[in-house]
Every structure is written in C-alpha cells, then in structure tokens.
C-alpha cells in the first residue's frame, strides 16, 4: 500500500534558498513534489517554523556519552580523558551497549540528527575473546538505531596496536584488547561476515595511525574500495600523533594514509586538527571529507582545525558529535565559524548556508547519497525548528536562516521526520523517554 503524507511548512530551506509556505508531498518515504507559496491545504500537516533537512552525525562513539559530566572534574588532557574512556568501555556488554546506544541515538534524533556514523571499535569481551557471535556488539548498535528510527552506518573499526613507541608499534594493553582483532585478516573475516541488513550500511574505519600499521591500512582501504564502502579514520587529532608518525614513518598521518591507498576509497578524515599545508592539499586533491567535531575538540583541548583552508582546498566539511560533550548539530556547525573567528580575528569566514551544508554533508560521507536536501526524489528527512522560542524570537525572514544557525538549539526542534515517518512530534520521541533511558543506561556502566 502506498503511504502518502502532505506537509505544509511555514518556511522551508530548499536547495536554492528559503521558501515561504511550501507544500511537500511525500510518497513511500520520499519527497514526491514541492510547491512554494501555497495556502495551507485542509489535509496537510502544518509545520510552523523553519523546516530544514535532517542532519548527519558523521562521527559518533555512542558509549562516550556516559562520560559527559564525569570528565569535567579537575585538570587534564585528551590522554587523561582516555583513561576514563577505558573504564566505561570495560563495563559494556551487548545488552548494556544496546541500552546505552539506544538512549544516545534517541537523544540525537531529538536534536535533529537523522543519520549517524558509529565509529565502532568495542568488538570483543574485555579480555579480547570474541563473543559467540563475533559481531554481537555491532548487532547491539544496529538494534539500538532501529529502535530509535535513526539511519545507521556502522563504521567497523580496525584497532590492532596499542600505540607508537620508540621501537615502532606497541602491543595492545589489557584495556585495549577488546578493541582489537587478532590480525587485519581476522578483522576482514569478521566484518565480511556481517549479514546484509536493511537497517544499516557497513563501512570501515582505521582507528588511527597509532593503532593501524601501514600494511593493515592498505588491506582495509582495499576492502572498502572493492565494496564502494565509506572509509573513515581519526587523523592528526593530537600533535603527539604527528610527532610519533614522523619519527616512525618519516611523514605525517595524512601522507601515510595517502601512500597506502586510503584515499582510493570514499575517505573521511575525522578531526584533522593539526595539518600541514601539504596535508590540506592532499585531502583537497582527493576530494575527501573532513569530519569536524568542534564541541569534542574544544572539550578535550585538542585545538582548532583549519576549516577555512580545508574548504578553500576543495575538502568537504561535515560534522560529528564524537564524544557527545553535547549533542547539538547546529552548535557543531556554528562552532566551525566561531572558532575561525577566534583564530583569524575576523567574522564571516563561512556563511550560514555553508554551515547548514556541513550539517548534511555527512549523509554522503556515510554512504547515503539520496538524503540531505529538501528536493524531489530525496528521502523525506525533515526537521522543523521553532521560530518563537526565547532563542529565535524576533527573527525576520531576511535573517531567518542566520538566526537558526547561530542561536537555535535542540530545544527548538519541534518535529523530526525520517524516511517520511514522524519520529519526534512537539519535542517528544514517539516511543522513548529519552532522559529516563539515558539515566538508567548510564547508571549501568558507571561505577
């Protein structure tokens, strides 16, 4: 049976700009027709405010959400934060991971994310022994996403080594054993056994050049290229990573990845905070995406990435919430501009339209080319933002997009539709008490 829905939007952000009084017809989850300047139809669902395309979270570690408040005590750095992360990871099993990820993915939907790329590296039991089903943890994430309605790309992550030292690659520590497969071939065997599942797409991820050696980089890049699958990697998040790579390999992480075929796949460099000009050129020449995670990067003291220089070089910019210091797609987007202002001492480095584009670019980077715009033929992923909240009240049509980009938050999200189905109505998830589930799930994994 054909499912049809008609929405009447007070304002809608279309590919060619802002439209007033737009009627959107949706058939079987896709946009079938758009008409602008229409009176409200008697049979239409009204969307007061601004309706925008659903955002893509290009980089998520769901279990890091349990650290949000606990990591704010005392001083430290990325490396001290990592010790807290290991403790949370040790408490996960398929059941607790499912409940935690379900709550976190639901929080994402409430905020206006409709697709998530889960950079998944907690594969095995704490001692490193595979579960009876070697992909039990991946299945837990898949079920969690399906429960919440969010679209999932599972980025199954290679993690073979414990870091780089003076003599090369270090073995996995006891706390890292559950992240690693026995070898790159064992990783490929396990991931290739993941069944086809209409609820997810499967891509590959290189955890970092600290955890994956050059020969393994080539294998995972080839695996992704043969399947036309997304390939993501943490890149130059910390200066120490660059220094270790220069000592061991005589090049930067970007150069190492390029030398060993990573740029032959649909590549996304996550963070890319500490880059050389040569790195930026290589990423631009490859037409790569960079997944910026400004709220995490500032939370961990990582630094500010060269967003404007990357964009000028032809790199596509996307956003991710990474460790979920907050889950706010518009905050990630505006931070790209606001951080540039702090570095450059000038305003207007990116337009509001540029920043909106960063919220949707992750769909393609995660392997979903038919979502991310309010256009005929696209999947109907639609998010409506209130224009009468304390944050957005007083905006006018000539600056409405700017008002939403630079001031609105997840509290202003009134409706979220994914594949033509209403998941959030009037700020409430259709099946999940998000705050209650977050509290319960986090309590299970925190001592």
Q: Note the pLDDT tens digit of each residue in 316-326.
A: 999 999 999 99
pLDDT-above-70 percentage for the chain: 99
Task: Average the pLDDT over each of 35-44, 72-81, 170-179, 333-342 and give the range with the smallest value.
Answer: 72-81
139-163 exposure pattern, b = at least 16 Cβ within 10 A, e = fewer = bbbbbbbbbbbbbbbbbbbbbbbbb
Residue where the block lists tokens 């934060």? 81
DSSP category for residue 345: S
Predicted local distance difference test score (pLDDT) of residue 199:
84
Question: What is the C-alpha separation between 200 and 57, in angstroms, rounded?
Answer: 14
Q: Which two tokens stand for residue 15?
A: 């590919």
Residue where the block lists tokens 């949706």? 26
Which of 61, 260, 271, 415 is an active site residue? 271
Say if residues 276 and 313 touch (Cβ distance below 8 Å): no
Which of 25, 156, 181, 322 is an active site residue? 322
Query: Which residues are bridge partners to 26 per DSSP?
Result: 5, 31
Is 41 a residue of the active site?
A: no
Averaged pLDDT for residues 149-178: 94
C-alpha closest to that of 382 among 3, 51, 149, 12: 51
- Beta-sheet strand order (sheet of 230-235): 55-60, 113-120, 151-158, 200-206, 230-235, 266-271, 289-292, 316-319
User: Is residue 414 pLDDT above 90, yes or no?
Assistant: yes
Alpha helices (H) along 184-273: 184-192, 214-227, 239-249, 253-259
Averaged pLDDT for residues 37-56: 90
191-204 exposure pattern, b = at least 16 Cβ within 10 A, e = fewer = beebeeeeebbbbb
Predicted local distance difference test score (pLDDT) of residue 329:
98
Q: What is the pLDDT of residues 56-69, one digit of tens each?
A: 999 999 999 999 87
Predicted local distance difference test score (pLDDT) of residue 40:
83
pTM of the predicted model as reported, rounded to 2 decimal places: 0.96
- Domains of the chain (ranges, CATH numbers): 4-53+374-434 (2.30.40.10), 55-365 (3.20.20.140)
Q: What is the pLDDT of residues 72-105, one digit of tens each?
A: 677 777 767 778 888 899 999 999 999 999 999 9
Is 25 a residue of the active site?
A: no
Say if residues 410 and 110 touch (Cβ distance below 8 Å): yes
Say if residues 156 and 118 touch (Cβ distance below 8 Å): no
367-398 exposure pattern, b = at least 16 Cβ within 10 A, e = fewer = bbeebbbbeeebbbbbbbbbbeeebbeebeee
């Amino acid at each position: 049976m054909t499912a049809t829905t008609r929405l009447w939007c007070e304002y809608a952000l279309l590919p060619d700009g802002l439209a007033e009084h737009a009627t959107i017809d949706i058939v079987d989850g896709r946009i079938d027709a758009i008409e602008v300047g229409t009176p409200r139809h008697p049979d239409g669902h009204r969307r007061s405010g601004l309706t925008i395309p659903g955002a893509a979270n290009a980089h998520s570690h769901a279990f890091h959400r349990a650290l949000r408040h606990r990591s704010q005590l005392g001083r430290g750095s990325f490396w001290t934060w990592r010790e807290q992360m290991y403790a949370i990871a040790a408490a996960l099993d398929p059941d607790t991971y499912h409940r935690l990820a379900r709550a976190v993915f639901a929080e994402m939907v409430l905020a206006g994310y409709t697709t998530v790329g889960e950079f998944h590296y907690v594969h095995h039991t704490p001692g490193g022994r595979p579960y009876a089903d070697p992909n039990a943890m991946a299945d837990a994430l898949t079920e969690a996403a399906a429960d919440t309605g969010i679209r999932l790309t599972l980025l199954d992550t290679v993690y073979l080594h414990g870091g780089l030292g003076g003599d090369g690659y270090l073995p996995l520590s006891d706390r890292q054993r559950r992240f690693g497969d026995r070898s790159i071939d064992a990783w490929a065997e396990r991931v290739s056994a993941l069944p086809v599942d209409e609820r997810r797409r499967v891509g590959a991820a290189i955890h970092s050049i600290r955890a994956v050696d050059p020969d393994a980089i080539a294998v995972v890049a080839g695996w992704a290229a043969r399947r036309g699958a997304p390939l993501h990697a943490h890149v130059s998040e910390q200066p120490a990573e660059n220094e270790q790579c220069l000592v061991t390999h005589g090049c930067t992480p970007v150069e190492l990845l390029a030398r060993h075929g990573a740029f032959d796949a649909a590549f996304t460099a996550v963070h890319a905070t500490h880059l050389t000009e040569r790195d930026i050129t290589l990423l631009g020449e490859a037409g790569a995406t960079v997944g910026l995670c400004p709220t995490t990067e500032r939370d961990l003291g990582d630094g500010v990435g060269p967003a404007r220089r990357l964009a000028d070089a032809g790199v596509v910019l996307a956003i991710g919430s990474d460790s979920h210091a907050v889950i706010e797609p518009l905050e990630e987007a505006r931070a790209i501009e606001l951080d540039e202002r702090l570095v450059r001492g000038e305003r207007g480095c990116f337009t509001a339209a540029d920043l909106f584009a960063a919220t949707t670019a992750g769909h393609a980077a995660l392997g979903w080319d038919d979502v991310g715009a309010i256009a005929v033929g696209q999947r109907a992923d639609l998010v409506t933002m209130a224009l009468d909240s304390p944050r957005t009240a007083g905006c006018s049509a000539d600056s409405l997009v700017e008002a939403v980009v630079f001031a609105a938050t997840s509290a202003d999200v009134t409706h979220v539709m994914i594949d033509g189905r209403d998941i959030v109505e009037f700020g409430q998830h259709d099946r999940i008490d998000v705050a209650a589930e977050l509290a319960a799930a986090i309590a299970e994994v925190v001592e």
